């Protein structure tokens, strides 16, 4: 199920993340190393370029095409240098019930908020929970939901937990809202007796703050026909440093945490050498922001 990449730091050419590394995000769409399925249901990204017109507004690119064959994406990636990026290759269950459309391609954004969200996972039995979840979503935000995914509903629920979804004060505030969102989902699942394993690895950013979670509800319970995403606890990795690029024959950042000005968070390492990557613990969130500093990428336990 899905592969996701998040970058925050010194501006870097997008093809250094999407195409060029040994295990780039585009490569993961058809040959993931830590997932037993292909990701063939679309590609999307939001990228904040500090040199662009209105730099607070990100580039947005979404398509149901396979990114490996997307010449427009490759050309764009060679020209845009981003200080912040969320990118996602979508995987869905191999079923006629899956809806493959541009409206369902991640990352999701909602009018009136600065947030973008990409999701790796699947909420089991969403149809049972939908009405109850809507009770916790503000009506203007609920009315902006355009697709059919659990992921967009999670973003709407998350935005509704914030004091002002158009203005995020800190990464810690975002972590708190994510934790509140997971608590709401937990209560709704319990109300309906839903115990099937459901993965909720979230990647969230407003261009200044970034949070990623490694989380699952009721892991190990496979009642019914489990989605392939929920059979294993989905992975999440990160690396920090500076001067990300090709050093010798290895794509990596150098300098280590003490001199870090950039961070990459991803479903799996982008590089052949994984010695500089750290796996995020289960039931945790990792976050960075202007106040915390990249050398202090913080990991906190999620209590939901």
pLDDT confidence band for 225 (50 / 70 / 90): very low
Kindly state the tokens that stand for 241.
């440093």
Q: How confident is the model at residue 296 (pLDDT cuts 50, 70, 90)?
A: low
Which band of pLDDT confidence, cut at 50, 70 and 90, is reported for residue 111?
confident
Per-residue pLDDT at 112 = 83
SS3 category, 158: helix
List of domains in the chain: 3-301 (3.60.20.10)
pLDDT tier at 118, thresholds 50, 70, 90: very high
Cα angle, residue 121 at apex, residues 164 and 270 outer, rounded to 5°: 95
Say if residues 77 and 13 touch (Cβ distance below 8 Å): yes
Confidence of residue 231 (pLDDT cuts 50, 70, 90): low
Taking CA atoms, 39 is separated from 25, 105, 116, 266, 280, in Å, by 11, 12, 20, 15, 22
> Does residue 101 have a pLDDT over 90?
no
Pair of tokens at residue 93: 């269950």
Q: What is the pLDDT of residue 291?
A: 60
Q: How large is the average pLDDT for residues 142-161?
A: 96
Bridge pairing between strands 216-217 and 198-205:
antiparallel
CA-angle at 265, arms to 267 and 198, nearest 5°: 40
Q: What is the pLDDT of residue 221?
A: 78
DSSP 176: H
Which residue do the tokens 């990623």 mark? 212
- pLDDT beyond 80 at 165: yes
Digit-coded pLDDT (tens) for 2-49 = 999 999 999 999 999 999 999 999 999 999 988 878 888 899 999 999
Q: Structure tokens of 160?
A: 């509704």
Rounded Cα–Cα distance for residues 240 and 158 (Å): 27
Arithmetic mean of pLDDT, 134-163: 95
Instruction: Look at residue 262 in the predicted model and tell me its pLDDT.
Output: 92
pLDDT tens figures, 50-87: 999 999 999 999 999 999 999 999 999 999 999 999 99
Q: What percent of the chain has pLDDT over 90?
A: 74
The pLDDT, as a whole number, for residue 51 is 92
Q: How many helices (H) and strands (E) does the chain have?
A: 7, 15
Q: What is the pTM of this model?
A: 0.94
* C-alpha torsion 275→277→283→286, nearest 10: 150
pLDDT in tens, 244-288: 999 998 999 998 777 888 999 999 999 888 999 999 999 999 999
Peptide bond preceding 107 in cis form (omega within 30 of 0) = yes
- For residues 197-202, give the mean pLDDT: 94
How far is it, in rounded angstroms, from Cα 109 to Cα 122?
Answer: 18
| pLDDT over 70 (residue 227) | no
CB 154, CB 148: distance < 8 Å: no
Largest CA distance in the chain: 55
The number of residues making up the chain comes to 304
């Amino acid at each position: 199920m899905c592969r996701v990449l998040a970058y925050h730091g010194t501006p870097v050419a997008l093809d250094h993340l999407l195409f060029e590394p040994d295990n780039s995000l585009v490569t993961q769409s058809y040959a993931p190393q830590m997932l037993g399925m292909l990701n063939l249901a679309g590609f999307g990204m939001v990228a904040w370029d500090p040199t662009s017109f209105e730099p607070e507004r990100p580039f947005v690119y979404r398509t149901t095409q396979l990114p490996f064959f997307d010449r427009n994406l490759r050309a764009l990636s060679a020209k845009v240098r981003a200080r912040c990026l969320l990118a996602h290759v979508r995987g869905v269950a191999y079923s006629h019930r899956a809806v493959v459309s541009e409206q369902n391609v991640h990352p999701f954004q909602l009018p009136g908020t600065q947030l973008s969200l990409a999701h790796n996972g699947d909420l089991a039995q969403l149809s049972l929970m939908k009405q109850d979840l809507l009770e916790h979503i503000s009506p203007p935000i609920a009315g902006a939901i355009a697709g059919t995914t659990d992921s967009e509903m999670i973003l709407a629920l998350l935005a509704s937990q914030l004091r002002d979804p158009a203005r995020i004060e800190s990464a810690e505030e975002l972590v708190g809202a994510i934790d509140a969102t997971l608590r709401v989902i937990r209560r709704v699942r319990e109300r309906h007796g839903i115990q099937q394993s459901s993965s909720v690895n979230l990647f969230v950013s407003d261009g200044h703050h970034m949070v990623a979670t490694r989380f699952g509800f009721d892991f190990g319970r496979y009642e019914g026909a489990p989605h392939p995403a929920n059979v294993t606890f989905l992975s999440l990795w990160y690396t920090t440093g500076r001067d990300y690029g090709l050093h010798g024959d290895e794509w990596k950042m150098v300098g280590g945490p003490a001199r870090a000005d950039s961070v990459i968070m991803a479903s799996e390492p982008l590089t052949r050498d994984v010695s500089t990557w750290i796996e995020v613990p289960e039931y945790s969130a990792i976050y960075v922001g202007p106040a915390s500093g990249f050398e202090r990428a913080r990991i906190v336990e999620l209590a939901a």
